[in-house]
Amino acid sequence: MIDLHTHCLFSDGELVPAEHLRRVEVLGYEAIAITDHADSSNLDLIIPRIVKVAEDLNRFSQTRLLPGIELTHVPPGLIAPLAAEARALGALVVVCHGETVVEPVAPGTNRAALVADIDILAHPGMISESDVLLAAEKGIFLELSGRKGHSLTNGHVARLALANGAKIAINADAHSPDDFMTKERARLVGLGAGLTAAQYDKVRHDMQSFVAGI
């Protein structure tokens, strides 16, 4: 198991990073990214702390902790500069909070994220086919979400991603211990969105390859 979108108490999650990592280690995870919510007010506070704790904990855990960030409700014009700042601060996984249908995300967020230096467009809602094509061109993952509400458009995202060759990531968007997915739950999210078993296996392989490359 790999999950590239989770939250600890540096934003609205419940756990300190050590417990966060230990709980998924017990579940057999290969890697997990902590990607707390950020904008220009807290980016420079969160990322260095996750980088430091990852250095500490990775010496002792079988699960690799990846320092990341989720740019959340950031005005589209700020996404690219904040993504660049996140990289400079040491974020290995840059997620952008996409145009989910259950929150008032600014129109144009999906496109602004896809032209920036990000890795994952989270819960992109009713994303357009032109934006899916851009994601495919840039190798940016489109997320199928295990989180209620955000998951409402998983089928739409999966259908367009598969039709246009865009990469898919399946993430829990976990905020609490009960949110962490088992292998069986992650597979259900994928198959429930319309993936075949073979397509689901490719998603897992693509996520493993991404982690191996960072």
CATH code (residue 105) = 3.20.20.140
Distance CA 47, CA 80 (A): 17
Beta 168-171 vs 120-122: how paired, if at all?
A: unpaired
- pLDDT number for residue 49: 98
Model pLDDT for residues 167-196, shown as the tens digit of each residue: 999 999 999 999 999 999 999 999 999 999
Mean pLDDT of the region 59-77: 98
Mean pLDDT of the region 129-156: 98
Model pLDDT for residues 9-49, shown as the tens digit of each residue: 999 999 999 999 999 999 999 999 999 999 999 999 999 99
Cα 213 to Cα 25, 42, 77, 100, distances in angstroms: 21, 27, 29, 28
Mean pLDDT of the region 159-165: 98
pLDDT band for 54, please (50, 70, 90 cuts).
Answer: very high
Are 3 and 33 in contact by the 8 Å Cβ rule? The answer is yes
Mean pLDDT for the chain overall:
98
Please report how the helices 197-212 and 183-192 are oriented relative to each other, as an axis angle in degrees rounded to 10.
120
Range of the structural domain that residue 61 is part of: 2-212
Structural domains of the chain, count? 1
pLDDT band for 138, please (50, 70, 90 cuts).
Answer: very high
Write down the pTM of the prediction: 0.98
Instruction: Give 39-90 as a DSSP string.
Output: -TTTHHHHHHHHHHHHHHHTTT-SSEEEEEEEE-S--HHHHHHHHHHHHHHT
Map residue 182 onto helix, strand or coil.
coil
Q: Is 58 exposed, middle or buried (0-12, 13-18, 19+ CB in 10 A)?
A: middle
Model pLDDT for residues 110-125, shown as the tens digit of each residue: 999 999 999 999 999 9
